[in-house]
Amino acid sequence: MSSFKQSSRSVFSDRSMLAFEYVPKELVHRDNEMQRLFAIISPLLETGGRSAALTGGVGTGKTSLAKRFCTDFSDYAADRGKCVEFAVVNCRQKASNPAAMLKILRYFDPHFPDRGFSVPEMLEILRNHIRNRECHFVVVLDEVDVLARRSGTDLIYNLSRFEEDSVGGRKNLSLILISQHLPAEFLDEAILSTVKRSNTIHFRPYNADELYDITMQRAALALYPGAVEEEAIHLISEIAAEKGDARFAIELLETAGMLADERGMERVGVEEVRSAKAETYGLITADRLAELEKHKLLVLLAISRIIRGRIHVTTGELEKEYGAVCEEHGEEQRGHTQFWKYLNDLEILGILDRRISGKGQAGNTSLLTIRDVAAEDLSEAVKSILSGKK
Ligand SMILES: Nc1ncnc2c1ncn2[C@@H]1O[C@H](COP(=O)(O)OP(=O)(O)O)[C@@H](O)[C@H]1O
Ligand SMILES: [Mg+2]
């Protein structure tokens, strides 16, 4: 007999609706962005390839909107007797040109071998697939700035100019580039001229009212009717509005729901939300860490090594340890200014906490601490992400 207690009831009716990959049918408060993307991309049905860029902070709905758009647009095209197919590449996971190309080719051939072909050969194979199918193909490069930084922009360039030079060829490939940064920050002129400024859609952070509606929508899908108090959803949306991040709101809803279950309650109330926030499971999840650039991860690895058993460390100590960590990882240590920028960003993300040191100490020394995760856990999480980034 198992020693697990089967809990008699749960607030959740369908927890898969809270999963990271779940794409809602309707993206609340993103009609304008959806319409603009449609206006940019839809002429491909008449004239051939188009490109668009989506930018904005974490949790502003870029990835979900692109996926929803592709699915709906391909139905829209089918209704008009046209064929549109698409592939979404997460460039943080496929952070090299061959890895990104492999992901694209496996859309056509799930058994395409993972080695033995150069990128130009792979592009040629893609060309043949597209010609043979008489379908328009939309490639979504999500988190494309990561690919550009790690592997250069050659592949992005080639995809943006796909078949432009073929005789009488009509461009049968469109590109949607997604990143937190503006394209001008990581692409060169040659590509920017294709992804014109006017084809960039910026995703604002959500305000509390918008997050309220987003959280309500998700609660209706994932929890039983009446299983969450309206006030609890208000509190979730207020907390998440600090960063305008819908993902955080959904994570809070899930954690608060789990706490309600643990406490044997029938509904999620504000206290469960507060506890969920305190657990900060919402703030420092592996997903969140996985989105950080490598050197920020190295800084976190450094602090997790020296802060064990201590309340805080100084920035000077941390910078030194960061240098050591860089050396161990064969990375060039970034300069002082850049290092400070990392600290700033990590602080904004709520991962690091920084305060100016008490009196008697050097004026510009800050004390750093991590609050929401044990040093050991942080270190393990960062190491596993770094080993995957090789
Ligand atoms: N407008 C919205 N309506 C409903 N859910 C949303 C909306 N925007 C974001 N979400 C949800 O919030 C989470 C984060 O969105 P995501 O598209 O991954 O953001 P980004 O790619 O900008 O970081 C996902 O679970 C997504 O379904
Ligand atoms: Mg995303």
DSSP string for residues in 113-124: -SSS--HHHHHH
* Nearest ligand by distance to the CA of 90: 2
Confidence of residue 78 (pLDDT cuts 50, 70, 90): very high
Mean predicted confidence (pLDDT) in 324-333 = 95
Residue 70: closest CA among 139, 154, 7, 1: 139
Q: Is 50 exceeded by the pLDDT of residue 302?
A: yes
Regarding the domain delimited by 31-203, which CATH topology (the fold level of the hierarchy) does it fall under? Rossmann fold (3.40.50)
pLDDT digit string, tens, across residues 239-266? 899 889 999 999 999 999 999 999 999 9
Q: Is 207 strand, coil or helix?
A: coil
Mean predicted confidence (pLDDT) in 367-371 = 79
Q: State the distance from the centre of ligand 1 to the C-alpha of 195, rounded, in angstroms.
A: 24
What are residue 355's DSSP bridge partners? Answer: 367
Q: Is 60 exceeded by the pLDDT of residue 322?
A: yes
Q: In whole angstroms, give the CA distance from residue 45 to residue 43.
A: 5
| Closest atom of ligand 1 to CA, residue 66 | 17
Confidence of residue 273 (pLDDT cuts 50, 70, 90): confident
Q: Is 90 exceeded by the pLDDT of residue 308?
A: no
* Nearest ligand by distance to the CA of 143: 2
Q: State the distance from the centre of ligand 1 to the C-alpha of 365, rounded, in angstroms.
A: 38
Mean predicted confidence (pLDDT) in 337-358 = 81
Mutate to test the pocket of ligand 1, among 245, 247, 253, 288 (most ligand atoms within 8 A of CB): 247
366 neighbors 354 (Cβ within 8 angstroms): yes
Q: Is 60 exceeded by the pLDDT of residue 97?
A: yes
Mean predicted confidence (pLDDT) in 352-363 = 61
Residue 246 CB less than 6 A away from ligand 1: yes
CB atoms within 10 A of CB 320: 13
pLDDT of residue 345: 84
Q: Is 80 exceeded by the pLDDT of residue 287?
A: no
pLDDT of residue 268: 96
37 neighbors 69 (Cβ within 8 angstroms): yes
Same topology for domains 206-282 and 287-388, yes or no? no
pLDDT of residue 360: 45
Q: Determine the CATH number of domain 287-388.
A: 1.10.10.10
Q: In whole angstroms, give the CA distance from residue 253 to residue 308.
A: 31
Q: Whose CA is nearest to atom 9 of ligand 1?
A: 61
What are residue 55's DSSP bridge partners? Answer: 179, 202
* Nearest ligand by distance to the CA of 65: 1
Q: Determine the CATH number of domain 206-282.
A: 1.10.8.60
Write 81-84 long-range contacts (CB < 8 A, 24+): 82/45, 82/136, 83/133, 83/134, 83/135, 83/136, 84/44, 84/45, 84/135, 84/136, 84/137, 84/138
Q: Whose CA is nearest to atom 15 of ligand 1?
A: 61
pLDDT of residue 297: 95
pLDDT of residue 7: 56
Mean predicted confidence (pLDDT) in 74-86 = 96
Most confident of 150-159, 204-213, 234-243: 204-213
**Residues contacting residue 183 through CB under 8 Å, at least 6 positions apart:** 53, 55, 177, 191, 192, 195, 200
Side-chain half-sphere exposure of 237, counting CA atoms within 13 A: 20
pLDDT digit string, tens, across residues 103-112? 999 999 999 9
Q: What pTM, to 2 d.p., does this model score?
A: 0.75
Confidence of residue 49 (pLDDT cuts 50, 70, 90): confident
| The amino acid at 148 | A
Residue 179 CB less than 6 A away from ligand 1: no
Mutate to test the pocket of ligand 1, among 64, 207, 243, 287 (most ligand atoms within 8 A of CB): 64
Q: Is 60 exceeded by the pLDDT of residue 168?
A: no
pLDDT digit string, tens, across residues 259-272? 999 999 999 998 88
Parse the chain into domains and list their residue ranges.
Answer: 31-203, 206-282, 287-388
pLDDT of residue 332: 95
